[in-house]
Amino acid sequence: MMKKILLVLLVVFLGTLSSYAQSTTSLRGVITDSSGGVIAGASVAMASTENGGVRTSVTDANGVYNFPQVVPGTYRLVAEKSGFAKMTRTNITLLVNTPSTLDLVMVVGATGDVVNVQAEVSQINTTDASLGNPFSEMQVRQIPLQTRNVVELLSVQPGVTSNGEVLGARRDQNNVTLDGADVNNNQNSGLIAQNTTTGLGGYQGSNANGANINSGFNAVLPIPLDSVEEFRVTVAGQGANMGRSSGGQVALVTKSGTNNLHGSLYEYNRNSATAANTWFNNQAGVARQPLVRNQFGASTGGKIVRDRAFYFFNYEQRQDASGVAQVRAVPSDSLRQGIFKYRMCNNPTGPGGVCDPVNDQIFVQDISASDIQAVDPIGKGVNTSMLPILNQYPSGNAPSFGEDGGLNFSGFRFNAPSHRSDHAIVGKIDVHLDRAGKHTVSFRGTLADNTDDQILAQFPGQAPASTLRDNSKGFAAQYTAILRSNLVSVLNLSYTRFGQALSGVAGPVLFQTSLDPLQNPYARPLSQRLPTLNPNEDIAWTKGAHTITAGFSARFIHNNTRSFANSFARYGYGATELIGLGADIDSALTNFMSTNPMRFGPNVGLADPVSVTNGMGAILGLVNDDFHTDLFSKNGTPLPQGTVQARRFIEQDYGLYAGDTYRVSRELTLSFGLRWENFRPPYEANGYQVMPTVPLNQYFAERNAGQTQGVPQNALPNARLKWTLDGPVNGKPTWWKPSNLNFAPRFGLAYSPSGHGGWLGKMFGTGGAFRVGASMVYDRFGSDLITQYDQFGSIGLAYKANFPDSYSFSTSPRYLGSSPTLPAPPQETFPYQPPDIAAIIGDFEGISPNLKPPYAYVFTASFAREIPGKMTLEIGYAGRLSHRLLMEGDVYTPLEYFKDPKSGITWEQNAAKVRALFDSGLTPAQVKANPSLVPTLPFVEDMWPTLANVDVPGSASANYFMCVYNDYGGSYLDCLHALDRNVTSSYNPGQCLTVTGCYTFFPIQGSSLPTWMNSGTAAYHGLTVSLRRRFSGGLSFDFNYSWSHSVDDGSAAESGAGEQGAAIQNIYNTKEFRGSSDFDMRHNISGNALFELPLGRGKPLLQDVPRWLDMIVGGWQASGLTRFRTGLPTTVAGGLEYNANYWLSSLAIVTGPVKAGVHINQNGNPSLFANTSTSNSFADELPGHTGKRAAVRLPSFFNTDMGVTKLFKLPWESQRIQFRAEAFNVFNNVNFTNSSLSLTSPGTFGEFQGVMEPRVMQFALRYEF
């Protein structure tokens, strides 16, 4: 490692160029005389009013001066030329990453004449095509931010979603730099996998800066607001100097010391007395959430040696002792007593003999323990070992949260204690190595020491499920050298180490579908150290009308993890793993009622079969499911349960660029650039990595080609797969091949006519600009993917195991009071061939060895001009066409397009005919009474002729219908599983029924193998409008609007995707699920404002009042931040059937009218729909196909935060006290979330289960000097 560091430093100091200078800015302009003629040879000096540094330039033949690579700050500009009066411009504010233009007009005068002018630099970019608004130090400090996370200001840029998707880019593609240093989480961008800690309630989801962990606004280091000097976001139109990833480029600059001493002391407090309760807590009678939050600190900056050395220091602490509203699924009081309740009807008219919620009269029925025993297929009845478990739960207080609306499952709302203790230290030193300030060195250090209840208590009285300890740290050094007046070099070297440790639950955990377990099985211990060494150098050379920039950057990343995520088992009742999805227990209950017509009435039907299945699973204590991972050493030795999984992943990223900004004329500037990115494929440092001996893309291609020719899985050349060790430590290639041709061209045009009359002058005014840009950008990828693959796909090192068979209610083991005995791990040697699997188990993960970085073409066009009132209006277009997006497709998907050699019909075509029969109203009862109602199905008769007479006397075709809809609850793949590979099924014990043998359709060694591949594409098009007023006369504001549409094949980012993110719903037709993106916000509005009341001394009103009265009426300021967006699209889950693959249960298709909004439904609950019967407008997806993308739109979102500030000036110069009161969600607007959108719960369909934060107030007292 040290050799690499020294080598990089040597290369950089010898003049290698760098990747990006994200902590600097630039200033340029044209100097003319009063007649408009350019003045060549004028001397221009730019001096910092903060630290005395001076830079000089000389205008060229076109009268142009240029200062590249300038440190953001406030400057004074002096221009001199013989025969002209000296021109001085003061108060020039330059913002980070915001090219500024300041033209000067010199007047004829004698030597010694001086013209002084207060400068106002144009806010319009006339240099390049970049889009994005900067924020000044005042805005950063004064705008009310609920999280006090400065990176979240990215969300108020036009075209940025609340979760961090930037103009169509995935939310893990944002790049955050602090003083030019990489401060990203270089594993997962701070996004947590969907299947891990967020799997159950209690997850807090915030990082060191208080940001939502599932948003794209994350930095690994704490960045206190009082430490930030500048903030700038580039959302599109990136120049060649911007890279690493393709999303928003966030540049932050830490404050520096100045010749004058300055600083602050501050305290921010939030408490319960001024906070509102959540809507659902109020309804459930739960008290307001306890809230005690204190955030306090101090900052100071000043000189060490005047004009030569400066310091800045900020210490901040946050202490929370609060409560967070939680809800858990618990058993109802009746279920705890062994009483089972359900909804039923007589003479059902719904499909498959299920009650129709609109046309049938539905009522609640209950059965006792003796009835349950009679219904139980094995006659055991209520599980006496399970009842004590159910009675450990608290009684529910929110019935509508229960899956069945409170019959057997209820909700329990409570306030879980949440404690947090954060400590942040930021220090910075700046040194001018020479008196002229041509050589400057700065050093910044940041330390964190945070303790946070990351996953809250599962139930009252418990300790937090997981506590996070974060001791991240980061250091950055920067050397700026003005080698000549036209040649500037900026060298950065940074070391950022993300460090965390989470406590968690050890040992096996019992779970039940529809109930939250008593212990959170996803809260497992984890520790991580992720250091990133990031050297980069940037050079700017001005030559005539050209400003040439070039650069180099490197990242050396070591991801050291110690995880217990796979070290312990989860066991219990899982609905989706049941054979037939519970059809046997539903039939048993229906048959029991049918034999008692006097009690239950004639011709009975169930209104909610899935809830019946889940309720019975709980009260009977089924243990049909076990999830555990067999861990092995590299030599195949099994490791005991509880062994930590320790890994060290090595990554290296490199980037080069060169660009030219060519000022063709005073009005036209062109920028050209080329960037090269090289993300080296990662590897595991100790050789703990495996891959299949046959590439999975080849394996899938063989399966897909074979099925179209009627070749069964069992006859394919690679029917069985083997895994072997790979990676450079094992002398083999790593997971995927290097991609060395990632060249990304960039182009920009800026046209800013001036001095024109007619329509051109009216259109552009003074300083207006039209800009267009085109760029190619690459996604950074693979860092989180490999950690997920290591846990779920490293077959031979980490083998996901289950019970050896799949069970129904008739065959499943029952809970006996302790965890079951786990199957013995297999004996292994490499290459390892997993055993054959004939059960609905074996869920793994894969990687295509041909992965390449996703890329996109980004196009921008914008027009900006100043309008009266010191405002700037900008209207623009942004488009993004994304390619090679990372998605997961299940290469173990059954051969659903397998063609019967005799009839030429495929399984999918045959299944469509069967589904059409069911949709026409045909029921299993009708077929049982008259099997001839099912016409001859050639595919069935050819492939499963022995199915005849198995369920009912009649053809194989009739019995296939019964297999799907009577025996397996409408799950086509469960029926196929019974026919194709389940030799223990009741159809023909001991052998499969498929004429071409077992495993004709199914893979031999598992049920699902989702594999990462470059299969996704996306398109984003948006109109953006920004109206800005720079701070003047006591007022500034930003208004941003975007009107956009985003379409893709799947919207999840790689980071945080887990096992079921970024999914290809149908691997045989990857475009079938294409539609509006999950983050498709058609209308998105944000705005912020600062307003100083014009009262008191020095103000327009009451300016002559006595000082004592000025203390009362003067110094008032108001600020606000508001957001509005239209609703996001979402899918509707099906009825747990598996109709496309065994990786993802089915989604729903739309079959009737759907009107979504915010309603109070017939149950009196807030809902997306006016009536739960809207579930009738949806149906399970067709077999072999996908559900409907963007089936409904969720409600719109609106929130406003406001603040009021009172300044008290102290008698001493530049000292003041500030009192601030802020209200977040000031109008206490209720934004409902988590709508129940699953056909498994028709009784609560559409009902909201969550709500965003209610109003919270914050009070602050600041002393500033």
pLDDT tens-digit readout, 788-810: 899 888 999 998 888 888 899 99
Spatial contact of 173 and 424, defined as CB atoms under 8 Å apart: no
In this structure, what token pair is assigned to residue 849?
């060895």
Query: What is the band of 12 on the pLDDT scale with cuts at 50, 70, 90?
Result: very low
Residue 314 lies in a domain: no
Does 1117 share its domain with 1224?
yes
Higher pLDDT, 992 or 83: 992
Does 994 share its domain with 1090?
no
- The mean per-residue pLDDT over the stretch 172-176 comes to 94
Query: What is the band of 7 on the pLDDT scale with cuts at 50, 70, 90?
Result: very low
The yes-or-no verdict on residue 200 having pLDDT over 80 is: no
Which is it for strands 1129-1130 and 1192-1193: parallel, antiparallel or unpaired? antiparallel
pLDDT value of residue 682: 97
7 burial class (0-12, 13-18, 19+ CB within 10 angstroms)?
A: exposed
The yes-or-no verdict on residue 965 having pLDDT over 70 is: yes
Minimum mean pLDDT among 113-117, 222-226, 948-952: which range? Answer: 113-117
Residue 972 falls in which region: left (phi positive, over 0), alpha (psi -120 to 50) or beta: alpha
Does 989 share its domain with 1134?
no
Does 993 share its domain with 1142?
no
What is the tens place of the pLDDT at every residue in 472-492? 999 999 999 999 988 999 999
> pLDDT over 90 for what percent of the chain?
73
DSSP secondary structure string, 488-549? EEEEEEEEEEEEEEE----S-EEEETTB--SS-TT---EEEEEEEEEEEEEEEEEETTEEEE
What is the tens place of the pLDDT at every residue in 97-120? 788 888 888 888 765 666 665 556
pLDDT value of residue 761: 86
Query: What is the band of 1135 on the pLDDT scale with cuts at 50, 70, 90?
Result: confident
Q: How far is CA 788 from CA 293, 429, 795, 797, in A?
A: 35, 41, 13, 13
Residue 483 lies in a domain: no
Minimum mean pLDDT among 40-54, 458-472, 875-889, 1053-1067: which range? Answer: 1053-1067
Does 1117 share its domain with 1244?
yes
Q: How far is CA 64 from CA 24, 126, 660, 665, in A?
A: 20, 14, 16, 10
Residue 1204 lies in a domain: yes
Residue 399 is given by DSSP the state G
Residue 1177 lies in a domain: yes
Spatial contact of 1036 and 1089, defined as CB atoms under 8 Å apart: yes
In a 13 Å sphere around the CA of 1079, the CA atoms on its Cβ side amount to 22
In this structure, what token pair is assigned to residue 502?
């989470």
Mapping DSSP to helix (H, G, I), strand (E, B) and coil, where does residue 198 land? helix
Q: At what angle do helices 609-620 and 583-594 cross, to 10 degrees?
A: 100
Sequence-separated (6 or more) residues with CB below 8 Å from residue 99: 25, 26, 27, 28, 125, 126, 127, 128
Q: What is the mean pLDDT of the chain?
A: 91
- Cα 153 to Cα 86: distance, rounded to the nearest angstrom: 41
- Cα 712 to Cα 695: distance, rounded to the nearest angstrom: 20
Higher pLDDT, 335 or 1062: 335
Does 1108 share its domain with 1223?
yes
Spatial contact of 615 and 332, defined as CB atoms under 8 Å apart: no
Residue type, 135: F
Residue 398 lies in a domain: yes
> Radius of gyration of the chain from Cα atoms?
33
- Cα 901 to Cα 317: distance, rounded to the nearest angstrom: 72
Sequence-separated (6 or more) residues with CB below 8 Å from residue 861: 770, 771, 772, 773, 876, 877
Query: What is the band of 1211 on the pLDDT scale with cuts at 50, 70, 90?
Result: confident
Does 1136 share its domain with 1254?
yes
Spatial contact of 1136 and 1202, defined as CB atoms under 8 Å apart: no
Which is it for strands 25-33 and 100-101: parallel, antiparallel or unpaired? parallel
How many independent structural domains does the chain possess? Answer: 4
The yes-or-no verdict on residue 17 having pLDDT over 50 is: no
Residue 261 lies in a domain: no
Minimum mean pLDDT among 199-203, 368-372, 882-886: which range? Answer: 199-203
Spatial contact of 416 and 456, defined as CB atoms under 8 Å apart: yes
Does 1117 share its domain with 1257?
yes
| CATH number of the CATH domain containing 109 | 2.60.40.1120
Alpha helical stretches, state H, 1149-1207: none
- The mean per-residue pLDDT over the stretch 319-341 comes to 96
In this structure, what token pair is assigned to residue 828?
């292994």
Does 1114 share its domain with 1236?
yes
Q: Minimal CA–CA distance to 85: which of 45, 42, 120, 52?
A: 42
pLDDT value of residue 193: 52
The yes-or-no verdict on residue 1140 having pLDDT over 70 is: yes
Provide the residue range defining the domain that includes 407: 331-412+575-621
pLDDT value of residue 209: 43
- The mean per-residue pLDDT over the stretch 991-1012 comes to 95
The CB density around residue 1160, as the number of other CB atoms within 10 Å, is 10
> pLDDT over 70 for what percent of the chain?
95
The yes-or-no verdict on residue 589 having pLDDT over 70 is: yes
The CB density around residue 187, as the number of other CB atoms within 10 Å, is 22
Q: What is the reported pTM?
A: 0.89
Residue type, 844: F
Q: Minimal CA–CA distance to 119: which of 24, 55, 58, 49?
A: 49
Minimum mean pLDDT among 60-69, 191-200, 1227-1236: which range? Answer: 191-200
- Cα 1024 to Cα 1014: distance, rounded to the nearest angstrom: 30
- Domain end, chosen from 90, 118, 146, is at 118
pLDDT value of residue 488: 93
Does 950 share its domain with 1088?
no
Does 103 share its domain with 6?
yes
Query: What is the band of 1058 on the pLDDT scale with cuts at 50, 70, 90?
Result: low
Mapping DSSP to helix (H, G, I), strand (E, B) and coil, where does residue 664 land? coil
Residue 40 lies in a domain: yes
In this structure, what token pair is assigned to residue 614?
């889940």
Does 1204 share its domain with 1101?
yes
pLDDT value of residue 118: 55
The yes-or-no verdict on residue 201 having pLDDT over 60 is: no
Residue 1150 lies in a domain: yes
The yes-or-no verdict on residue 1258 having pLDDT over 90 is: yes
- Cα 1258 to Cα 318: distance, rounded to the nearest angstrom: 14
- The mean per-residue pLDDT over the stretch 1023-1040 comes to 93
